[in-house]
Amino acid sequence: MSAVVHDDHGHGDHHGDHAHHPSGVMRWISTTNHKDIGTLYLWFSGTMFLLGGVLALGIRAELFTPGLQVWNPEFFNQLTTMHGVIMVFGAIMPAFVGFANWQVPMMIGAPDMAFARLNNWSFWLLPFAASLLVISFFVPGGATGAGWTLYAPLTVQMGPGMDLAIFALHIMGASSIMGSINIITTILNMRAPGMTMMKMPLFVWSWLITAYLLIAVMPVLAGAVTMTLTDRHFGTSFFNAAGGGDPVMYQHIFWFFGHPEVYIMILPAFGIVSQILPAFARKPLFGYSSMVYATASIAILSFIVWAHHMFTVGMPAAGLLFFMYATVLIAVPTGVKVFNWLATMWKGSMTFETPMLWAIGFLFVFTMGGFTGLILAIMPVDIQLQDTYYVVAHFHYVLVAGSLFAIFGGVYFWLPKWSGRMYDEKLGKWHFWLSLVFFNVTFFPMHFLGLAGMPRRIPDYALQFADYNLLASIGAFGFGFSQLIFFYVVLKCTVFAQGAKAPANPWEGADTLEWTHLPSPAPYHSFETPPAVR
Amino acid sequence: MALSDKAKTALVLASIVAIFFFGIMLKYWILR
């Protein structure tokens, strides 16, 4: 099972191309190398992050003061919708797939991903999907403004921008599914001899479980948007109330996808943090096996909590109670993970290089998002807070301070291995502290706005919300401009090849295969002969 | 033709995808 499969029958083009691989643009278009494809994913994600960020600043510009001053309300809805869609499907998810492409083969001692050509295709679908989303702003009626959740009946009524969004989601979903099949197949079949499942690094475990989630729920999203498409153009009435359909049914189907999707965006972040903390605490991860079981438990529970997103639709009391208790139950495995991360650092010889700062920042701020999630899980409270800015604050604490902070930490952690150059430590720390401060300036006031009753997805608001909105907008622009430091640091290491040369293992406590067995930068082809893992 | 372990794994996973994709639509189309 754990033997490395060497394909001698002409299918393994990832081995066949190393003498004559093309250069220039064709290298990137035709590449089947996991490191190249990982790089492509990460740059794509960075580009989408900038695009989604510009849309976010458009939102915050409008909300800077009460009244309508920059955009008309229809365009504001398009901004919120496309900000969500682009950040979820274009920025966060591809970033983690980029990490998986780079790291999974190196961490398990495999030469490449299992299906190298499929890997290329998985990536190259994404720019086309992103183009559809961008083009949708310029069709009659503009982009879809139904919210990233694409709820009926709005989706049945909107213009052609909605169709483009549906096709984009189909394509991105296909990309994710193919990527997941590739990752699972790689992990199950291509581990180096001796790399048993319970010896795999936590990042690999977290991606294995995430990939299973993707396999199960992306087809459900694809089915939901396909039904929306047939409602729009082929006379069906799945969700179209005018024809006897049920819009609430869409919500059930969407959130059956949507809640596991939340964990798809956070489990790989847990994996990254679980690599960083032991490396800088110079101690092995505390409670490895409990971390694996906790991750699996979170994934399984994610399938039975979806209706906590729709407590106000009018469910029977038994349904409300079931989904409330099931949701609260998720705090148990999540608590196990937070406890283990703290115990990993306990009495460790800690140093605070940039990746460690991001990991500790993640631990503090993500956990706050977890707590507000627990508050929202309490059904009677949620009925008050549904669709208010409290929800916006909560999920940005989870997705920005959770997913994005872990992504930043992971990039700083592995950049020496990827580029062969040490990043600028001083600028990295500036990036962290500015991001942490401005993140909280942006999103912490939103808790108060939500508690005071400010609804989300509105371009104008009552005067009593003005001060906190002003603060949030200032924070958002500060956060946005702070990210330019990150892109400068990354470009300096990669494109400009500046900075000190990185040793094979710049981190004293890092002990996974890419650090212990490979030079920096990692060679184009690694582990063609599998390493011995004891 | 014998399938490799990798191909078998991928086929099982692709079947799960197909079941969820078509299953969700069939459920609400036929079993409503």
What is the spatial distance between Cα A208 and Cα A281, in angstroms, rounded to a whole number?
A: 25
What is the spatial distance between Cα B15 and Cα B23, in angstroms, rounded to a whole number?
A: 11
> Is A15 annotated in the active site?
no
Residue-wise burial string across A68-97, b where 16 or more C-beta atoms lie within 10 A, e elsewhere: eeebeeebbbbbbbbbbbbbbbbbbbbbbb
What is the spatial distance between Cα A295 and Cα A269, in angstroms, rounded to a whole number?
A: 11
B10 contacts A226? CB cut-off 8 A:
no
Quick one: tokens of A485?
Answer: 């430091």
| pLDDT at A239 > cutoff 60 | yes
- The stretch A339-361 carries a mean pLDDT of 97
Nearest to A215 among B4, B16, B25 (CB): B16
- The stretch A397-405 carries a mean pLDDT of 96
Of A8-12, A449-453, A462-466, the poorest mean pLDDT is in: A8-12
Among A327, A334, A403, A520, the active-site one is: A334
**Predicted pLDDT of residue A8:** 37
- Report the run of H or E that residue A435 belongs to, with start and end: helix A425-451
- The stretch A27-56 carries a mean pLDDT of 97
Of A9-23, A246-260, A273-287, the poorest mean pLDDT is in: A9-23
Q: What percent of chain A has pLDDT over 70?
A: 96
A114 contacts B10? CB cut-off 8 A:
yes
**Predicted pLDDT of residue A1:** 31
**Nearest residue on chain B to A183, judged by CA atoms?**
B10
Q: Which chain B residues are within 8 Å of A220, Cβ to Cβ?
A: 20-21, 24
What is the spatial distance between Cα A62 and Cα A362, in angstroms, rounded to a whole number?
A: 29
Q: What is each CA distance from A442 to A77, A102, A386, A439, in whole angstroms?
A: 20, 32, 20, 5
Q: What is the DSSP letter of A286?
A: T
Nearest to A219 among B4, B17, B29 (CB): B17
Of A13-27, A34-48, A321-335, the poorest mean pLDDT is in: A13-27
- The answer for residues whose C-beta is within 8 angstroms of residue A351's C-beta and 6 or more apart is A280
Average pLDDT over all residues of chain A: 94
Q: What is the dihedral of CA A440, A75, A153, A388, to 10 degrees?
A: 20
Nearest to A177 among B5, B9, B17 (CB): B17
Per-residue H/E/C for chain B: CCCCHHHHHHHHHHHHHHHHHHHHHHHHHHCC
Q: Which chain A residues are within 8 Å of B3, Cβ to Cβ?
A: none
Q: What percent of chain A has pLDDT over 90?
A: 94
> Is A394 annotated in the active site?
no
Q: Does A65 touch chain B (CB under 8 A)?
A: no
**Predicted pLDDT of residue A12:** 38
pLDDT band at B32 (very low <50, low <70, confident <90, very high): low
Alpha carbon of B18: minimum distance to chain A alpha carbons (Å)? 7
Q: Does A189 touch chain B (CB under 8 A)?
A: yes
Give the type of residue at A483. Q
- The stretch A79-100 carries a mean pLDDT of 97
Task: Give which of B1, B3, B8, B9 to mutate to test A binding, by max A Cβ within 10 Å.
Answer: B9
Q: Does A180 touch chain B (CB under 8 A)?
A: yes
Q: Which chain B residues are within 8 Å of A181, Cβ to Cβ?
A: 10, 13-14, 17
**Predicted pLDDT of residue A10:** 37
pLDDT band at B28 (very low <50, low <70, confident <90, very high): confident
Q: Does B17 touch chain A (CB under 8 A)?
A: yes
Nearest to B9 among A184, A220, A249 (CB): A184
Q: Provide the β-strand partners of residue A455.
A: A388
- The stretch A456-483 carries a mean pLDDT of 97
**Predicted pLDDT of residue A20:** 63
**Cβ pair A411, A278 in contact under 8 A:** no
Q: Does B1 touch chain A (CB under 8 A)?
A: no
pLDDT in tens, A167-196: 999 999 999 999 999 999 999 999 999 999
Closest alpha carbon to A125 in A149, A93, A100, A150: A93
Q: Does B11 touch chain A (CB under 8 A)?
A: no
Alpha carbon of B6: minimum distance to chain A alpha carbons (Å)? 6
pLDDT band at A16 (very low <50, low <70, confident <90, very high): very low
